[in-house]
Structure 1
Amino acid sequence: MTITAAQNSATNTNSINGWAGISIPGPVTSIVITYSNAGDASSNANQQILISDVQFNAIPLDSDSILGGTGNDAIFGGIGTDTIDGGADNDVIEGGAGNDSLIGNTGTDTLSYASSTAGVNVNLATGAVSGGHAAGDTISGFENVTGTGLGDTLTGDNNDNVLSGLTGADSLNGAGGNDTLIGGAGADTLVGGSGTDTASYQTATASVIANLATPAGNTGDAAGDSYSSIENLIGSTLSDSLGGNAGANLLEGLAGADTLSGSTGADTLFGGADVDQLFGGIDNDLLDGGTGADFLFGGSGRDTLAGGDGADSVDGGQGFDFADYSGSNAAVSVNLNDTVAESGGHAAGDTLSSIEGLIGSTFGDTLIGDMKANIILGGGGADTIDGGFGSDSIQGGDGNDVIDAGPDTAPVITPPLPQDLRLDWDAQLLTNPNPNIDAGFTQTTGGINIQVTYTEDDSATNTAFTIDNGPLAGNADAVSIYAVNDEIPGDREFDTDSAGVLTRAVGGAGTTEATINFSSAANSGLTGEVSDVYFRISDIDVGGFRDTVTVLAFDALGNPVPVDFTVVATQITESGNTLTAAASASPVAPSSASGSALVYVQGPVASIVIQYGDLNNPGSQQAILLSDVLFTTIPESVDNADDDTVSGGLGDDFIQAGIGIDSLMGDEGNDTLLGEAGNDLLFGGIGEDSLDGGIGDDQLDGGADNDTLLGDTGSDTIFGGSGADSIEGGDGNDTILFGEGADTVFGGDGSDLIDDVGGIQLAGVNLVYSGSGNDTVYTGDGADLLFGDAGNDVLYGENGNDTITGGTGNDTVYGDQGNDVFVVGLNDVTTVAGDADTLAPYEVIYGGGGPGASLGDNDTIDLSVFGFSRVVIVPSAPGSEDGYIKILDTLGNEIGRIDYFNIENIFPCFTPGVMILTDRGEVPVEALVPGDLVMTRDNGLQPVRWVGRRDLGLLDLMADPDLQPIEIATGALANGPDRVLRVSPQHRVLVEGARAELMFGEAEVLVAAKHLLGQAGVTRVLPLEGVAYIHILFDRHEIVQSDGVWTESFQPADRMLSAMDAEVRGEVLKLFPQLAKAEAAFPAARLSLKAHEARVLLAG
């Protein structure tokens, strides 16, 4: 605060005008007063201010008012009545003793009563608090609560809360939201409420056993805990055992050598650090081992298993399972045919079993399928993928991938025969003499992996799962089981001295459980499920013990499978899947028939669960004995189809289909798709793709952009899609649909149907070659070039100014609307042998259109290209557009005939070159050489100094229409020409007369040939044979006579020379060095008119 007095406002010490009262709300610990004077220096020495007494109120001890502000604050109020506001960000606030006002404010804030000397009751939803330090507090704006070391009751709200009870028997209720409940040590009651809630033991200082289904067996911080509406478990950083329930659980082991068991439901298991064991159980599970050499077993269902970093053992179990390497930090190389460890990135050292699908990393992976129907997802990077034999589905993902969907020829597959095998308890002791099998084991026999696991739900002592090892240890008193096998077909027998011993706790009410999972070994040719399962359960005690045994069976998809019992004794009753001993009989020996039951599961079965309990909870340990488990393998059905589905994804992919009916999709990028054998579907997608259907009746779709499509062998269906496509049908009777761009189409061999379905094509010209065979072609709208090639074709030009060449064979041609040109050659007519009296028409041409056609109609038959010796045109009536053309040989004999309809023009002869007037008469321009004397209009005979030539093919002219020549019909100009004159568009023609002199002051002017377009008889043409432009250079710009009219010679200029090839330009400059200067040029022989000037002149 600053107080400033007015200038020259002197006051007395007792005047009210020089007084200021100051009030500070506080709290405050010091006050600083600074005095200065801004007046003149002469008065400074005698100035002063007076300060009155300072009055204040004392604040009671520990009554704090604290504002946290921004940042993650930790605030402790201590004793007293505190007001604490955490402000922004994530704060931890503890008011301590006293009636506190606690506000979390914004962020994710935690209310703590950790120092309370008594338990507290906190409800975030209602704001009600009581007990211990919470008594008298008011709270708001908190998301999380930490209780005391005593028994607390903590309740959340509809947000995602973290409730931590610390030690003591706490009651935690998450209410709404996805909550995390940390009970800590003590027998806690954990209620998740609605949402997906987690019981966490991450603060535990010792290992825990926590099981959502059977919490009675919990240990460590989890001991005594009960769960309600809890879906997930998080373990400690030590070696934990976590188990799920029938729901979809998330089990997270964190650090330590953890065992995670998913049970039923679609579970997600994260092992975390160290060497973990993950068991998915039933349903579609996700298993992630994390770091360390982990063991992953998917169980039944469609599981995804990611071993993570470390040499992992990955067993999919039953069902269709994926090995997932999407999180790898480097490229992986995985081959499902391997019986050795994989390599690269997270795959290094991994062994895979019962895996049908692969998911690659974001790097360039090598992924190889086996003989099953695999799904392979390449992910990012330039992957190399081989599906192997079988009907695979492959997606390359991002990157330039190389994909081979399968072999070119089908391998010889001999499926294995069913085998009668067994789970042999004694055989397990041969590899591991320790009879205790609490930790489970895996036994492989005949291509079947048998995994045995054990769980218990009772914290009492003396529970175990063991193998009776008496005979191996030389113990004469070894237990013998009842092993009669009368009901088993064949000669299979039980071993009386081989048994698994399943015990239960003394005095406990819970059960123990043994699970037997079946899966196929790699490349075994077996499904992994088994059938005709037999085993005996012996020593089912009655009387005071009253054993209960439940047997459950599931197939590879987790569906229940029926279980049948055969019981001899009447004191054991059967109800559904459970056997129950009577209460009124005496116990029996393990070898007694009265205590035994034969179990049969027809299958197919993938998992069997044996649950053992006792109704009377006796005070002595009890056990049941399980015989060897007999079963029969199920061979896989042989998939000879090898029908693959492949998607390239982003990038420039190379995809090869192999045999079978395959579907290949290039997706985005410039892809190459090879169909190989089978009736394949190839879709290029976005990008300039190359598609080859290979053998079979294929369907090809180029998709967007400029594609190259080859049907190859077979009767293919080809659709070009958008873009300027190059399409070839190849062998077979193909259907080719094109036209959404300037396409080039080759029908190839076979009788093809070629159709323009793209509508009006304004950009470019469709070029269609029907190929050999009897083809039907529709070129659609636009100015198309259509070649019938060999075979008896039916050709439809449809709308547009088309040029149609029938080719060899008896063709029928329809021009339809537009100014069409029909080119017919010597090979298009029937040769009449000898003096045959009958002549059949060879070509039939329909010009189409007719008067008033919307696209114009001025059709032409051009007979000049192939050089007929003589033709006779016979109209059906004078002036008719219908008739026929007789083709004659040199002797005048008729050798063929062409019928025509709606044809306006027929050109019977062809001028091979422009005729130039020389000293020896008219000479073809292409015959002139340097030194020849040519008659000029201004200077008489002049020697030719240089002759240049530029040849342009049909495709050159199509690519640049401005290069297409201008054709001037005979007599189209006032003084000629004498015959059809064809020149380049820029070639200038002399025009003379009074109108020119009146308008431009000169009687003779030069007009570019292209500016004559629109005059009668002057057209731009597209010669199928291409064109040669020949230049004649004199010592000056000259006017020469060409086909009877005066036209210009070559006039060099800098822009013309720069457009020439280097070799040609050098030749001209050698003759005329002065032209090397840009400003040097030959003066024009006449005034050259611009386009608009030419239009005005010619309009008269």
Structure 2
Amino acid sequence: MSDYTLDWASVAGIDGETTTLSNGSSDVAVVIDTPSNGTGAVTEVTEFNGVQALTSEHADQPNVASLSFSAPITDVTFNLLDIDRSNADGWGDTVTIIARDADGNELPVTFSNVTDAQSVDGNSITGVAELFEAPPVGVTISGAVKTLQIIHVKSETNLPASGIIGISEIGFNLVVNEDPDGYVDGTNDDDLIDHRFEDIDGDEIDDADALLPRAQPNDDVVLAGAGNDTVYAADGSDDVFGGEGNDLLRGGAGKDYVSGGAGDDALYGDDGADSLVGGVGDDTLDGGLGRDVLSGGLGNDSLIGGGGFDILTGGFGADDLQGNDGDDTLIGGAGGDTLRGGDGNDTLVGGRTDISQVIDFNGLEIGEILTTQLAHQGFTVSSGNPKTPVMVFDSAQPTGGDTDLASDTLGKVLILSEDRDKNDPDDNAAGGSFIFDFDGPSTVHSLTLFDVESGATVSLFDDQGVLLSVQTISTDDGEAITLDIDQSGAAQMVVTLHGSGAIDNLSLTVDNAEGDLGDKLMGGAGDDVLTGGAGADTIDGGDDRDVIVGGTAGDVVTGGTGSSTANDADDIDILDLRGLGPFRVVQHSLDADENSTSGRVEFLDTDGTVTHSLAYAEIEQI
């Protein structure tokens, strides 16, 4: 008897939605994803052979249903419906079932009630004869299942397509009393995860266990899960993932990575050189002491650098960025942002100019787990599963036994790490998702996919989560193919591998947001560099020697006084208009301090007609 039943009639959805099941005492969350294979195949929940089922039809290319469970499950049972073949109509079915544990190890699959109309080969079953409404074939999976893939495809390449098959409700039990696995797992409730919290496997914060590869005694990986969670990671270099809900996450001492996920989250790096990513929602990020990197993501976020030389990127939305002490870099991204540099020699950029680039990842270190290392290039990249993070892999000297990922030309590529071992990178055989979050509307031109024999799906979304485009691709063993995408307006790209493989050579343009609402930039004390970008911006250099770069229609620029002494060399503010085409200065006058000037700059087209203008004050040099 199963404690849990996944009833298709009651699921939240089959396109990446989360369905939570309960046995009255413990919850299990199931994420179900059925990406399009791009060939017109149909996957849907419908009544089939008298029961509600997940059905797959016209699978010319592999049609994949992927299920990911929040905790390991066992005693998995379900039925496959109508696995057969029709020679007359030219179709046939093959279903392959891949079940893996939390470490990516494949688990055995057992079929029962197999008829003469089917043949079994390992974890695959194929229809070999037509049998009207073939009786259900039973499927049983033992072991601790963490992910499950059910793959339907036509049984022979010369057939035009598959028939239609169904997957019945799925029963299972929860694995309990496992040994600690190094991951501190929360529940789907509102958890308080601190040094007193113990998860279902016996994992704790700062337990001095160092169970994960190359971890130091108090380096924790915390997966808070759904719910409004509070996490205190304390000592060590920790990775903290909030998941869904409005979470409060503190990294504590050490070099931490803190990711809010969905919801309005509060993230604190505390001591150390931390990386904070807000995700979706109106988040508050506070780096604390140390050289921190903060990325707001989608939503109206508040980013505070604290002490140290910090990098703050607002992303989409009307964000508030405060550098505070140190020589900080603040980048507003898309939306009407407010940037305050504070003390130190800061660089403030309201909105990026277009950045066209091909990122080959060769500047990263082998075995490096990606968090915010590429934020300065306009995006972050993460994994859909924190247990299989994005890692840098050297294709010139492949490790982990991955000889199929050997290449003389690609250099360093990105994989989804099987075990987080930085000294022996190995890709996850079960696949997973790379998630690229851009800090402005972006045009993705192309991406190289490497050794994706099981196939890959590339999906792009706008800042409202609307699907813009989707493509599927597969390669031969060891083959690299560049996929032409050419999709503009993207806020996020999700690359899902249905098995092992790697990606490389991302070609994109992080666009200058058209119609940016205009930013407010305040340099504060120190020798600052301020760039407004798109929109009608208000820019104030504050004290000391500032450089204000560029200008667009409606900008109001103030260099700041910083001195009441005429010709004071410590307060020479420069308005830098190089590269903006012809312009003229009008209404130019000396300010009351007799040290700076005010006026207006008019920008001209090739005929000498004024196209737009900006106003300036307290500027010493143009």
The answer, yes or no, to whether TM exceeds 0.5 is no
TM-score range relative to shorter protein:
0.3 to 0.5
Q: Which has the higher Rg, Structure 1 or Structure 2?
A: 1
Q: Which has the higher helix share?
A: 1
User: TM-score, normalization: structure 1?
Assistant: 0.26
User: TM-score, normalization: structure 2?
Assistant: 0.43
Q: Which has the higher strand share?
A: 2
